[in-house]
Structures are given as C-alpha cells and as structure tokens.
C-alpha cells in the first residue's frame, strides 16, 4: 500500500498509521539475520497463535522482543528456559497498530546455558551440598505470630497485596515492614540488611520476603548467595514469596516455606479470624456438652452409689436374718423336740430319787417291773414295765 502524506500548504504531514506503514515497509526490505542473546520473559499459551520472549544482551542489558509462530516453536522441541543463550534467525518488523518493533523468528538454535543460569546452577549445587536446602532444616510457622515482618520494595504491589490479605484475614495482626530495593545491583545488600533488622526486632515471629513478578534479571538478586545464606541463618521462620508460581529463585529453596504469590504468603502466616472464632465456638460448645455429659454420668454414678449405700445395711441384715433362720431351721430339724413332735418318745431309766436316768436304747436292758420315765412332745409320764419285746 502506497504511503501518502497530507498537504498543509508547503508541509507534508503523515498520519501515525501512514508513518508506521512506511517504516514497516522499509523494514521489510532488510534481510533476515541471526541475533544472539539470552532468553528472558518466555510466554507461551495454548490459545495463542504465537510464542513471545525477549532476547537480552548479557553485556549491556539491551533487549529485543521476539515473536515466533507457536507451531513452529513447538516443532523445534528446544525446551527453552529463561537465561539460556540462543541464536535467533528472523526478519525485523514493525507492528503498525501499536508501533512496536520486534524480530519475527523463523529459526532458533541453542548455544548453551546463559552466563547467569550457569552461575546460578553452580551456586545451587554448592549450597545444596552444604545442606542449606535440606527439608530437615525447615521450621513450622507459628500459628498466631505476635508480630509479622515483611521485606519488600518501596510502594510495591506485592507489599499492598500481602498486607491486605493479612489484615483482612486477621485484623488484630501486627505488621512491621522493612522497605528496600528489590532489583538491581544494590538490592542484595538492602534485602540482607532489612532481613536482619526485622529478625532483631522485638516479638517478630515470622518474616515474609516478597516482591511481585518480573523478568529473569529482575529476580536475580533473590538468588544472590548473601540473601540465601541470610535466610538460612535467620533465627525466625522465613516465607519466600518472590515472583509468580513458575519462578523459583534460590531464596525459595532456603526459606522455611515457599509461597507461590505474595497473596498466598499472607494466607500462610495468619489464620482466618472468622474461621478461628467459629472453631472456638464449636470447641466451646463441644466442651460444654462434654462437661455436661461427664457431670450427668458422675451424678448418676453417685446416685447409684448412694442408693447402694442406703440399701447395703438392710441387705446385710436381711442376709444375716436369712442365715439365722436357715440355721434355726436346721437346728429345729435336728432337735429331739422335733423328733418328739413327729410322735416319737424318749425313754429313760427311772431313778431312785425320782430323776430320769440314762436313755433306754435296748428293750433287753430293762427288767420286767422296772420303772421308766417317758418324755413326750408335750409332757411326760412314769410307767412300770410289764413286758419287753
């Protein structure tokens, strides 16, 4: 499409659309070429037609936006990650609607890990050997921290997010914020100083180190060895909430707990007050119910014991009386009187003084004419023997 200027007297003026089209047309005349740099900010979504990433010069930090068709990118199966150094072959172009310049890539070749990524890998292995990332070092977070320390950037969205979540979930929470640089060459020193200052502050039970998302280079300070060691040596538990879910700086590995986002960190360090109150109310209700059941159970037990104590003397007397009656029955059954009652009699020899003598058991032992005394069930009699059998 031909680009034409508007005539204003002797002045030619181009609209933005015309200007962009003119530049885009001129860029199309440039040849395709190879560009070298490190991959940063790689973005790929299934619903997108293209894959986007930034190519960064590792020397002076210059950047170039790169776009490549998703199918073409997937077909390469490179598995690229931030920090890798690559060669990109493509055509410079200008997106006329936005006036944004980028390189439309048609080929990508990996030439090895980027300097930063290689250095980070070496540092990661070194610290892992020292045990700084061991799970056995991880400490549990306090259930109700007396004071929460937050290391964050100046006016950072991450600071706002984490404070909002904490105060919303648990309004009585006390927060101490230490603001510092969170990117750039001075960030590591500032973060270490802020972390140590918060750890030394009175009643600080947990510290959150946080910043929002950013490029690979933006998050590099959080992989600095000084920060990793400071987190590992911190006397109170540390929550790392740096970047997004896919970002994993080395401070995440050294922290006691890793939060995927600053918002998630806020949810980790304090309980939800409403849920806590509801749980306490349920516990109180359960405690009251349990106490009432225990009281009723003990009262019933005491009532039973009292009833048993009241009845015990009566039962004892009853058992004693029953035993006495049983013994009396046995005595009655064995008593000579009982034998007499059944029609028997006791015969004794009559004495000269009128007293009864020995019991007569054999008729042959009594002479004819002898006087004997006969005892009956009621009364007795004295008789003379006229005949024996």
Give the DSSP H/E element, type plus range, for residue 333. helix 273-334
Give the DSSP H/E element, type plus range, for residue 92. strand 84-95
pLDDT tens string, the chain, 389 residues long: the values are 567 778 788 888 888 888 888 888 888 888 889 999 989 999 988 889 999 999 998 888 899 999 999 999 988 888 888 888 889 999 999 988 888 899 999 988 877 555 667 778 888 999 999 999 999 999 999 999 999 999 999 866 888 999 999 999 999 999 999 999 998 888 999 999 999 999 999 999 999 999 987 777 778 889 999 999 999 999 999 999 998 777 788 999 999 999 988 999 999 999 999 998 998 999 999 999 999 999 989 888 898 888 888 888 888 888 888 888 888 888 777 777 777 777 788 888 876 565 668 888 888 888 888 888 888 878 888 888 888 88
* Dist. CA 54–CA 114, nearest whole Å: 14
Is residue 350 within 8 Å of 357, Cβ to Cβ?
yes
6-113 fold? OB fold (Dihydrolipoamide Acetyltransferase, E2P) (2.40.50)
* Residue 79 DSSP SS3: coil
Contacts of 198 (CB under 8 A, 6+ apart): 149, 150, 151, 176, 178, 204, 207
H helix count then E strand count, the chain = 10, 16
118-271 fold? Rossmann fold (3.40.50)
pLDDT of residue 232: 95
pLDDT of residue 2: 66
pLDDT of residue 318: 85
Which region, left, alpha or beta, applies to residue 53 given φ > 0 means left and ψ of -120 to 50 means alpha? beta
Contacts of 72 (CB under 8 A, 6+ apart): 106
* Dist. CA 264–CA 29, nearest whole Å: 50
* Residue 154 DSSP SS3: coil
pLDDT of residue 251: 94
CB atoms within 10 A of CB 27: 13
* Dist. CA 113–CA 120, nearest whole Å: 10
Contacts of 383 (CB under 8 A, 6+ apart): 371, 372, 374
Going from N- to C-terminal start, the domains of the chain cover: 6-113, 118-271, 274-334, 340-384
* Residue 230 DSSP SS3: helix
Q: What is the number of residues in the chain?
A: 389
pLDDT of residue 149: 96
Contacts of 289 (CB under 8 A, 6+ apart): none
Q: At 328, phi and psi to the nearest 5?
A: -60, -40
């Amino acid at each position: 499409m031909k680009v034409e200027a508007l005539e204003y007297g002797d002045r030619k003026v181009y609209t933005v659309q015309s200007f962009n089209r003119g530049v885009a047309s001129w860029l199309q005349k440039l040849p395709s070429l190879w560009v070298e740099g490190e991959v940063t900010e790689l973005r790929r979504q299934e619903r997108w037609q293209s894959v986007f990433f930034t190519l960064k010069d590792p020397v002076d930090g210059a950047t170039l936006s790169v776009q490549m068709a998703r199918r073409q990118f997937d077909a390469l199966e490179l598995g690229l990650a931030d920090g890798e150094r690559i060669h990109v072959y493509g055509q410079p172009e200008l997106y006329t609607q936005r006036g944004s310049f980028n390189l439309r890539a048609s080929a990508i070749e990996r030439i090895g890990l980027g300097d930063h990524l290689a250095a980070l890998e070496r540092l990661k292995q070194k610290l892992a050997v020292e045990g700084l990332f061991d799970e056995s070092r991880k400490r549990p977070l306090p259930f109700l921290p007396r004071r929460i320390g937050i290391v964050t950037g100046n006016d950072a969205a991450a600071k706002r997010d984490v404070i909002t979540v904490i105060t919303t979930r648990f309004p009585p929470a006390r927060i101490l914020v230490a603001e510092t640089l969170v990117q750039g060459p001075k960030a590591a020193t500032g973060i270490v100083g802020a972390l140590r200052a918060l750890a030394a502050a009175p009643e600080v039970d947990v510290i959150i180190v946080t910043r929002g998302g950013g490029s690979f280079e933006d998050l590099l300070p959080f992989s600095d060895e000084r920060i990793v060691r400071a987190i590992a040596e911190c006397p109170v538990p540390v929550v790392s909430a740096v970047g997004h879910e896919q970002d994993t700086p080395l401070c995440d590995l050294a922290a006691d707990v890793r939060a995927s986002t600053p918002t998630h960190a806020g949810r980790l360090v304090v309980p939800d007050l409403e849920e806590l109150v509801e749980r306490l109310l349920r516990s109180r209700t359960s405690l009251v119910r349990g106490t009432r059941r225990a009281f009723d159970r003990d009262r019933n037990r005491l009532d039973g014991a009292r009833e048993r104590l009241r009845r015990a003397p009566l039962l004892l007397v009853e058992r004693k009386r029953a035993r006495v009656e049983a013994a009396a029955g046995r005595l009655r059954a064995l008593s000579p009187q009982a034998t007499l009652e059944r029609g028997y009699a006791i015969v004794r020899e009559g004495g000269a003084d009128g007293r009864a003598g020995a019991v007569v058991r054999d008729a042959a032992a009594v002479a004819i004419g002898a006087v004997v005394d006969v005892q009956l069930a009621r009364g007795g009699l004295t008789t003379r023997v006229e005949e024996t059998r």
